[in-house]
Amino acid sequence: MKETKLKEALANNRAVIGTKSVLKNVKSGELQTVFVAKNCPDTIKKDLSHYASLSSIEIVEFDGTGKQLGTFCGKPFSIAMIGIKK
């Protein structure tokens, strides 16, 4: 279900890829949902959780590693987190 939402966001150009970009957009409250890879470092997850709670942004843990998240998104590289714009 959630993965379908991610595929639609990628197809409609509403996805933000990468830790720096996602955190920047979370701080400004521009995202609706953030998908995080299971192997994302805990320090980054902690920062994301803090800022997401301030903006009421949903955090979904992707059932796979960063490499698998990258493959799911059709990218040839590892992705720690990806956000969906409102």
Instruction: Report domain extents, the chain.
Output: 2-85
Cα separation values, 17 from 36, 56, 59, 62, Å: 11, 20, 14, 14
pLDDT at 1: 60
pLDDT at 34: 94
Token duo for residue 10: 């990628």
The tens-digit pLDDT sequence of the chain (86 residues) is 677 888 888 889 999 999 999 999 999 999 999 999 999 999 999 999 999 999 899 999 998 999 999 999 899 999 999 999 98
CATH of 2-85, one of 3.40.50.300, 3.30.499.10, 3.30.1330.30, 3.50.50.60: 3.30.1330.30
| pTM of structure | 0.90
- Give the CB-side neighbour count of residue 18, counting CA atoms within 13 A: 4
Contact 48, 22 (CB under 8 A): yes
* Cα 83 from chain centre: 4
